[in-house]
Structures are given as structure tokens and as C-alpha cells.
């Protein structure tokens, strides 16, 4: 009997995270089964990254919430020694387009988003 092999495709997107949704990178989540946000070895003012979504890649994005009413966000622990990676919250896959938005004033970061389909 042959073994069924599942092949996953990955792509890496460099994304800008700021407090203004208009300047954040739009991520296409269509056909994505999972994703992580990877921060390089940096310190940043950002303590939390929120996920905002929309049904098109333009227009007004809205803040995402989980089914329990909590904000779809990632609490960061940036490191000057090690890279850190965080899984996107489940609510991130509700819209075909999302943006990662810094929740803290004057916070800007460049991150890698590794997505798998």
C-alpha cells in the first residue's frame, strides 16, 4: 500500500507593521492554512500586534475578534539575542486579506510572515 503524502507550499512575505493600517502591508490569506510572524533579533516599542481584515485588498480594514469576543492579537516578547516567531490567531483566516497593525504608539517593525497552503 502506498503512503499518501501531503505537500505543503510555503511563501515568505516581508511585512511592515505600524500603528496606521494605511501603511501596513496587506497580506493575501486566500488558500492559506497557517502562518507565523517572525521577528528578527530586535527590540521594538510594539508589545502587541493586532490583526485587521477586509474582503478586498483595498478599502477600510476592520479589527478582527475571535468567537469569544477577544481581540485577534499577538503579544510580543522581542529579543535582542534570539529570533522569535508567533502563530497568527485563528480569526486571521476569516478574511482573504489581513494587515498586522501595531497596537502601541510609535511602534514600527519589519517582520517576515511565513504562510503555508
Task: Answer whether residue 3 is part of any domain.
Answer: no
Report the alpha-carbon distance of residue 104 to residue 33 in Å, rounded: 28
Task: Answer whether residue 4 is part of any domain.
Answer: no
**pLDDT tens digits, 76-103:** 887 777 888 999 999 999 999 999 999 8
Domains contained in the chain, number: 1
> What is the 3-class SS of 82-97, one letter each residue?
CCEEEECCHHHHCCCE
**pLDDT tens digits, 53-82:** 999 998 899 999 999 999 999 998 877 778
Task: Answer whether residue 104 is part of any domain.
Answer: yes
Report the alpha-carbon distance of residue 48 to residue 36 in Å, rounded: 15
Domain containing 73 equals: 10-116
CB 49 within 8 A of CB 76: yes
Task: Answer whether residue 1 is part of any domain.
Answer: no
What b/e sequence results for 20-47 when a residue is b if at least 16 CB atoms lie within 10 Å of its CB, and e otherwise?
A: ebeebbbbebeebeebbbebeeeebebe
Amino acid at each position: 500500500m502506498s503512503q499518501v503524502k501531503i505537500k505543503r507550499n510555503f511563501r515568505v512575505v516581508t511585512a511592515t507593521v505600524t500603528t496606521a493600517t494605511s501603511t501596513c502591508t496587506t497580506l493575501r490569506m486566500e488558500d492559506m492554512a497557517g502562518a507565523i510572524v517572525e521577528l528578527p533579533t530586535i527590540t521594538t516599542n510594539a508589545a502587541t500586534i493586532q490583526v485587521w481584515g477586509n474582503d478586498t485588498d483595498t478599502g477600510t480594514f476592520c479589527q478582527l475578534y475571535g468567537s469569544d469576543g477577544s481581540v485577534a492579537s499577538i503579544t510580543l516578547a522581542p529579543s535582542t539575542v534570539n529570533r522569535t516567531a508567533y502563530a497568527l490567531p485563528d480569526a486571521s483566516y476569516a478574511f482573504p486579506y489581513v494587515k498586522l497593525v501595531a497596537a502601541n504608539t510609535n511602534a514600527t517593525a519589519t517582520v517576515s510572515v511565513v504562510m503555508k497552503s
